[in-house]
Amino acid sequence: MARFDSHTVGIAAGISSAACFGLMAAMVNQLADTVPAAEVTFFRGVAGIVILSILIRKQFPLLVQKGAVSIWIRAVAGAVSILCFSWNLQLADVGTANILFNLSLIFVLFADYAAGRSRPSVQVIASVMLAIVGIGLYWYGNKMIVNVQILTLGLIGATAATIAYTALNHASKKYDPWLIVWTVSLMSIPISLLAKNGDWVIPSATGILMLAGIAISVLIAHYLLNVSFAKLTLPVATSLGPSCIIWSVIGVAVIQGVLPAMHSMMGLIVYSAGMGILLTISKRNL
């Protein structure tokens, strides 16, 4: 049986994680009119605790040891970023929510430059500009108006994701991927409760099935994300996330049976090309 090198495994895990996140995003978007985002993230957290507690219960002592700071930073920041992303998935379309969330990639690159671990190049700047052109095409074709609330949530979510990714780069080298997922699930519960407004909604049978699908897809996505960060450098692992936008749009198109406008499709292709070039450059230089 053929064996794959660590880098290939990390790339495959990262892309598969993005696909699972894309499926989750499409389902969260479909629940916009029936189940609020805070309830979705709360249910996801509870489901993760119930499913994973038996599996990783023997590892609980690791969470109170001196070196466990990174895993808890990852848990809190990850839970905040997921909530903001889920909010925007229901306030905007999946493409816009993903584009704003993917600002975390740019933030990670700048953090890397600030720390002196890498230097900016003409190729990196060009690939980022290409992605920005794609964003412009997508928004022009989609006619999506990004208001202050959506932009604020996007920036908060991207900043939290940057912190989560940085912490995950350390935690993934020390802890079992499922333990990391469990801590994110745990922190999602109180953070969702703090963000919850109004009465709780009892979902329909279809809503319950979607919530179950969201919980399962997120657990798998987080596990694969942890594997990816354990195998790859921080910029490369982070740069795989933007492919989630393609899977999200495909998921919504399948569920609704409606394709995006031509300009939006072109924008997604250009945006993905920019991120793909950025991945190639990161892989070569970092």
Q: What is the pLDDT of residues 98-157, one digit of tens each?
A: 888 877 777 777 777 777 666 767 777 788 788 878 877 777 666 666 788 999 999 999
Q: What is the pLDDT of residue 264?
A: 76
SS3 content of the chain, % helix, strand, coil (to 5): 85, 0, 15
Is 202 strand, coil or helix? coil
* pTM summary value: 0.80
Residue 187 included in any domain: yes
- The pLDDT tens digits for 52-81 are 998 898 999 999 888 899 999 999 999 999
The predicted model gives 86-105 an average pLDDT of 85
- The pLDDT tens digits for 216-225 are 998 898 889 8
Q: Are 187 and 76 in contact (CB under 8 A)?
A: yes
Phi, psi of 49 (to 5 degrees): -65, -45
Residue 217 included in any domain: yes
Q: Could you tell me the residue range of the domain that residue 219 belongs to?
A: 6-118+148-250
Instruction: With both helix axes pointing from N to C terminus, report the angle between 262-285 and 94-101 in degrees, rounded to the nearest 10.
Output: 20
Is 189 strand, coil or helix? helix
Residue 285 included in any domain: no
Distance CA 127, CA 275 (A): 7
Residue 134 included in any domain: no
Number of domains present in the structure of the chain:
1
pLDDT: is 241 or 39 the higher one? 39
Distance CA 81, CA 88 (A): 11
The predicted model gives 268-284 an average pLDDT of 69
The predicted model gives 89-94 an average pLDDT of 87
**Residue 12 is encoded by which pair of tokens?**
């495959």
Residue 266 included in any domain: no
Distance CA 108, CA 158 (A): 10
Residue 255 included in any domain: no
The predicted model gives 207-226 an average pLDDT of 89
- The pLDDT tens digits for 1-45 are 446 677 788 888 888 998 898 888 889 988 988 999 999 999 999
Q: What is the pLDDT of residue 285?
A: 44
Residue 136 included in any domain: no
Residue 132 included in any domain: no
Q: What is the pLDDT of residue 149?
A: 92
pLDDT-derived band of residue 184, with 50, 70 and 90 as boundaries? very high
